Amino acid sequence: MPTLVGKEVGPLGYGLMGLTWRAKPVSQEQALEAMKAALDNGMNFWNGGDFYGSPEYNSLVLLERYFAKYPDDADKVVLSIKGGVGAIGKDPDGSPENTRRTLDTCIAQLKGRKKIDIFEFARRDQNVPMKTTFDVVQKEYIDTGKIGGLALSEVRAETIHEAVKLIKVVSVEVELSLFSRHILEDGVAEACAQYDIPVVAYSPIGRGWLSGQIRSIEDVQPHLRAWPWFQPGNFEANLALARQVEALATRKGVTPAQLAIAWTKRLSTWREGKGAVPKTIIPIPGATTVERVVENAKAAEVEIGDEEMRSIDAMLDQFPRAGERYPDDIPTNT
């Protein structure tokens, strides 16, 4: 079993973003049922954010209500929380003042019901030296036991090489899926392998593309419809890629989401002739219903052989994804 901050976690984690970060969040009852199903199905590593929703209803608020209802689950869950955006606006802010603000706010929102095992700055602040930020985290929060450890999020390889000289990096969260394979080519996967840092793979279902549910733009979450992957031209090319994945999944007798998640996990033992990869890759698919949670959890049992991996590689070469991962105003590879 993989471990994070010295605690065993399942081969798959659970992303909380979709429960609160949408125009119309699902009901609290439905959210808590999905979270319970994730834990019951071995997905005990949970990943949320203080900006996933409003301050009145974000991941932390939902988590507090979950652990109020299920207090015995607090010790079963390994919790990672992203923060670090500015108090005003969405730009990264790694200043000591904002570091304290975001951590104190996150801790307070949980009301003592659950410790934050891992904290991540959602993006690196290019204007503040990492040492300045990390010194506050280490001395005032990790050393005092307020949080368990620090992870990196959406970073480039150079940031990883710099960060490990300053603090113990317990994981690196990056986008990784059949739709997003950049870390296998830009040095990020190799850096994580070099320092034996687990990769936490967000969006392994490609923001819905690999769910088998997208046929037209109306099937896309409204807040994503203006993003590059879903623009005219890109949409059609990406739909063709998604259809290829669906065909492979049908032949294998699994759902497209299960194939996508299993492929992401399998990368830790694949990358034939293409450089080092970390030995631990933990996909964190999100889902808002018990049915989808259970479907995703079954991906942990899906085996993908070497010949199948080669076939998928060939398919990806023939059907490349179209469009950038994010709009221009959202920083990436920080």
The alpha helices in 268-305, defined as continuous H runs, are: 290-297
47 within 8 A of 13, measured Cβ to Cβ: yes
Long-range contacts, stretch 128-132, CB < 8 angstroms, 24+ apart: 128/93, 128/94, 128/95, 130/94, 130/159, 130/162, 130/163, 130/166, 131/166, 132/94, 132/95, 132/96
Q: What's the pLDDT at 86?
A: 59
Write the pLDDT tens digit of every residue in 102-161: 999 999 999 999 999 999 999 999 999 999 999 999 999 999 999 999 999 999 999 999
Residue 8 lies in a domain: yes
Tokens of 118: 């891992």
Q: What's the pLDDT at 85?
A: 82
Beta-strand runs (E) in the chain: 3-4, 7-8, 14-15, 45-49, 78-83, 116-121, 147-153, 169-175, 199-202, 281-283
Mean residue pLDDT of the chain comes to 95
Residue 300 lies in a domain: no
Residue 312 lies in a domain: no
- Work out the pLDDT band at 332, boundaries 50, 70, 90: very high
The domain total for the chain is 1
Tell how strand 147-153 and strand 14-15 pair up: unpaired
Q: What's the pLDDT at 304?
A: 96
Residue 315 lies in a domain: no
Evaluate if residue 90 carries a pLDDT over 80: no
Residue 98 lies in a domain: yes
Structural domain for 125, as ranges: 3-208+264-289
Give catalytic residue positions.
52
Cα 87 → chain centroid? 23
Write the pLDDT tens digit of every residue in 230-275: 999 999 999 999 999 999 999 999 999 999 999 999 999 987 766 8
Write the pLDDT tens digit of every residue in 277-288: 999 999 999 999
Residue 232 lies in a domain: no
Q: What's the pLDDT at 88?
A: 46
- Other beta carbons less than 10 A from residue 203's beta carbon: 24
Residue 61 lies in a domain: yes
Residue 228 lies in a domain: no
Write the pLDDT tens digit of every residue in 155-203: 999 999 999 999 999 999 999 999 999 999 999 999 999 999 999 999 9
Where residue 179 sits, what CATH number does that domain have?
3.20.20.100
